Chain A
């Protein structure tokens, strides 16, 4: 049990115990759990039971709503909008085993395969513990043939504060929350098209301007190199420095 009020940072045992306890409480809803030593506890739950899990957690003392968001796990087609030369140069220069080993691999805390993952955090002030809850959002074929994330149960009747967070996730990722009364855009203009935080949404600021980091040094033409070198050397010796 995470009954360590004196300790600011519950150790691993506390989190492991909490994970076990919550897995028991939530039963089949928990797909996977993950504890990162001294950092956090992740629970991945069944998306169908998202609302039920939230309600159960609230009743179990995790009544303090942290945040709700989503992750888009696809790689951006445009890369990082930066010259990859720089990335390559960085690896080459440092050349330690860590950087070369971890090139663009995916480590998902709590696992999962789908493109979109729903993410929320709850605190329990009484236990001084927090839990991050994830759920895979499956893709559902939409009417026009393209695939879009399936709709997700809304939790605003469990945590009223989730209202705005769900609206934000809706406009940024295009997730649809069933049962949310007003999925109006919260940041973007009403006529805005697209979902900016999806990885396939291009960031124009980086696309319209060339990267200034491209090396722009004019080389000496090879045919002049020897001549220049001789001139310089001659002058150097003539100036008396060579003596």
Chain B
């Protein structure tokens, strides 16, 4: 072998070693074989059918690649063959834990195209139901995060107290999970008598639930040891990956579509604040969501006291035809920015609907953030990024 080839070999070998070290942030001097571990598609932590293909060195992650599509339902295509009212039925099932919040941006986009605006009473009730679905959705996260790190009890508390919120949603809309209550130009129905007082009581209970979660889980030193400085996402990375919602705010970016780009709902009528956390780690994401749930109960309380009287439906034709045009409306959903790019050619149904779902972007940061962590951290990070599978796969 000539010396030239030997030098090239050595150089390529060195380059390989350097690349490995840089890539995995692990010590490659130890001669340990890599192991491929498939987390999912049926794994308790992926709540749904997400699959994460991990390359492991011992328990350390060299690379993690989410593979999805097990639940792809093609909603963008299906919406093209449905009328606008029929679309909301599908849209309900994108983020199935906060269904009502899914409907709102789509309806708002259609309203923008039609030049219709819902009456104030409808806007207020919309906002209330929107925040209720946020509470229902995020409270489940608050408990589920406990299960991800091994605590059994919080998730039962979450299911227990979320049920109260779902009951309130069901009493108005008739559907616990899939309200299908929002209509172009307003709402399907008004709120039943006695509902406001009941909801106030439930909000008080939910604040109690948040306190409980703080004592039981967030204040727990073991939980903090597990979550602090695990899965740190700096602000600029979060922006570049298009993270949204609490994941973005936990990275210190002060951005909330409810405040910064309110598409016309009643959030600007009440007093509330946006919570951010500078750390960007899993604990920060939990912390921000807990504070947001508390804030949401306050928003609901204030809104309940100020619902204006009036009709709940604007004048819209019985058969809805949307004028040609394009509109994009996004709202701050429980999981993050949910937006609909609706293209109409003037028919009964949309010509094209692009659904910008928060979880899709949120989970795309996984390969970046999981490098160099440990197997238990995969679960912590996945849990704290908080995705709904229907929201990734649509």
Contacts and interface: CB of A to CB of B under 8 A. Distances in A.
> Do A and B touch each other in the complex, judged by CB within 8 A?
yes
Given A66-B356, A119-B354, A125 B81 contact: no
A107 B365 CA distance: 36
B80 A67 contact: no
B361 A80 contact: no
A107 B324 contact: yes
B348 interface: yes
B260 A8 contact: yes
Interface in A177-207: 185-189, 196-197, 201, 203, 205-206
Nearest to A108: B326
Interface stretch (A18-26, A87-95, A230-238): A87-95
B323 interface: yes
A40 interface: yes
Interface residues of B, number: 56
Contacts, number: 156
Contacts of B76: 172, 197
A36 to B, nearest CB: 7
Contacts of B343: 71
A102 B346 contact: yes
Given A64-B239, A65-B242, A130 B324 contact: no
A96 B321 CA distance: 10
Contacts of A86: 348
A102 B360 contact: no
A119 B356 CA distance: 12
B354 A69 contact: yes
Which of A80, A93, A201 has the largest count of B CB atoms less than 10 A from its CB?
Answer: A80
A109 B325 CA distance: 7
A121 B356 contact: yes
A157 B240 CA distance: 10
A125 B365 CA distance: 19
Contact of A65 (B241, B324, B352): B241
Interface in B227-283: 236-237, 239-243, 253-255, 259-264, 268
Nearest to A156: B240
B74 interface: yes
Interface stretch (A146-154, A160-168, A214-222): A160-168
A76 interface: yes
A8 B81 contact: no
Interface in A37-90: 39-40, 42, 63-67, 69, 71-72, 75-76, 80-82, 86-87, 90
Given A106-B324, A188-B69, A66 B393 contact: no
Given A65-B241, A187-B68, A104 B345 contact: yes
A226 interface: no
Contact of A164 (B237, B345, B364): B364
Contact of A63 (B72, B80, B239, B354): B239
Given A8-B268, A80-B347, A102-B324, A128 B241 contact: no
B318 interface: yes
A29 B175 CA distance: 49
Interface in A93-123: 93-94, 96, 98-99, 102-109, 119, 121, 123
Given A125-B255, A160-B368, A39 B260 contact: no
Contact of A196 (B77, B260, B318): B77
14 contacts: A65-B239, A66-B337, A72-B352, A80-B349, A93-B319, A106-B345, A107-B324, A109-B325, A109-B326, A160-B368, A186-B69, A197-B77, A205-B78, A206-B81
The 10 closest A-B pairs by CB, nearest first: A102-B346, A161-B241, A187-B69, A161-B242, A65-B242, A8-B262, A187-B72, A107-B324, A90-B319, A67-B356
Given A102-B321, A125-B255, 10 more contacts: A65-B239, A76-B80, A90-B319, A103-B346, A103-B347, A125-B260, A132-B341, A159-B240, A160-B368, A197-B77
Interface of A: 8-9, 36, 39-40, 42, 63-67, 69, 71-72, 75-76, 80-82, 86-87, 90-91, 93-94, 96, 98-99, 102-109, 119, 121, 123, 125, 128, 130, 132, 159-161, 163-164, 172, 185-189, 196-197, 201, 203, 205-206
